[in-house]
A and B are shown apart, each in its own frame.
Chain A
């Protein structure tokens, strides 16, 4: 079922782009970022201020991705894509399926995102590239969330992200940094529902740093504060170390080791993150 809908979504994106004659090729390699688990452009776990794909002014760009996270007691699949116009606006979609192994059950969540680049150019401006983003998350399977005390099945995150490339900043290599602030009511990214007995909403910070080993390889780390409201279970901040490989403007791959802490009462969850992305 879920895969059928996903196939349809990807087919629509593919058809839209067959209709557009040119494949976007107008930005420097890697400046479209890679697909985040929430669908929009980022470094993997954190969304960045970058706009997906390689379209410049007056052009469209698009990405489709599949990401798999395998930690001790859970497996997460996130699949989706993004459509971008003019290196300015990005519309994204992600369908997340979390398999909870000890309970032999799955939780599905859909995320629709919109991101707008407000000011700045990642490579060219003194100030960072700054974007404003919105993510509307809808939990399709709410039994576990409700059992743990979440008050809502959907929620909207707002974030402001600043990304900048620092030329020759790390042993002669280029350094990419991102800092974001996010306003959210999500428990574990929304997979455990929204809100709860705690504060109604919370501001959190996200940080990423990556070094370009060369034009095609990046090594970096993410840190993401979490907004969890549940009193029944602990929620920890997330961190990961990643390697990204972008052989060309069409393909991107990410491999990471993620430390996600306690999730739904299961302690010290850590494991691998693997992602593949196609850009048009």
Chain B
């Protein structure tokens, strides 16, 4: 029906006799085709797209600056050894993104137990990370992929 050959994408004309799934699929296909700029996607590992080890160091520094300026979360770092936190953060992001590292710190649940982190604080921290990733010019696709890997940590971090 809506075969996207090359860059040509046809638009659905009428919704009549146009099943819902086909309509949504064709729009999604159209958007994805336009977004990908008709170029083949690179399959470079996430670790490389984050800029490798030096990229993660720059990201960690940008993130720490954002956290230090964030009134909502900064107090939760009162008892944190920032150098150790930075090291653990880099190791964790490196391991998570498929880099040559091993995270040897505590689990997320252990590290956050007793801090009673609220959803508001977690969201604020996510925004700090999103801004930090933009600060160091990480490409949008890599940013979203990393956020998707970190998102499930919400349940180990909140409350407790």
Chain A: residues with CB nearer than 8 A to chain B? 26-28, 56-57, 59, 87, 121, 123-126, 166-168, 170-175, 205, 207-209, 211, 213-215, 219-221, 223, 225, 236-239, 241, 259, 261, 268
Contact = CB atoms under 8 A, between A and B. Distances in A.
Contacts of A259: 14-15
A207 B21 CA distance: 8
A239 B18 contact: yes
A207 B35 contact: no
A172 B144 contact: yes
Interface stretch (B25-33, B58-66, B83-91): B25-33
The main secondary structure of chain B at its interface with chain A is helix
Contacts of A26: 119-120, 123-124
A168 B144 contact: yes
Contacts of B130: 28, 215
A213 B37 CA distance: 13
A124 B155 contact: yes
Contacts of B154: 121, 123-125
B123 A27 contact: yes
A214 B148 CA distance: 15
Contacts, number: 106
Contact of A170 (B24, B28, B148): B28
Nearest to B20: A223
Interface in B1-52: 11-12, 14-16, 18, 20-21, 23-24, 27-28, 31-32, 35-36, 41
Nearest to A214: B140
A56 B28 contact: no
24 contacts: A26-B123, A28-B127, A56-B118, A56-B119, A57-B118, A57-B119, A57-B120, A123-B151, A124-B154, A125-B155, A170-B32, A170-B35, A172-B142, A173-B144, A174-B144, A207-B24, A208-B24, A209-B24, A214-B140, A221-B23, A223-B23, A238-B15, A239-B18, A241-B11
A59 B120 CA distance: 10
A171 B151 CA distance: 19
B140 A261 contact: no
Contacts of A56: 118-120, 123
Nearest to B149: A167
Contacts of B123: 26-28, 56
Contact of A221 (B27, B41, B124, B145): B27
Given A124-B155, A173-B144, A259-B15, A209 B118 contact: no
B136 interface: no
Nearest to A177: B24
A146 B82 CA distance: 71
Contacts of B147: 167
B155 A213 contact: no
Contacts of A167: 144-145, 147-148, 151
B126 interface: yes
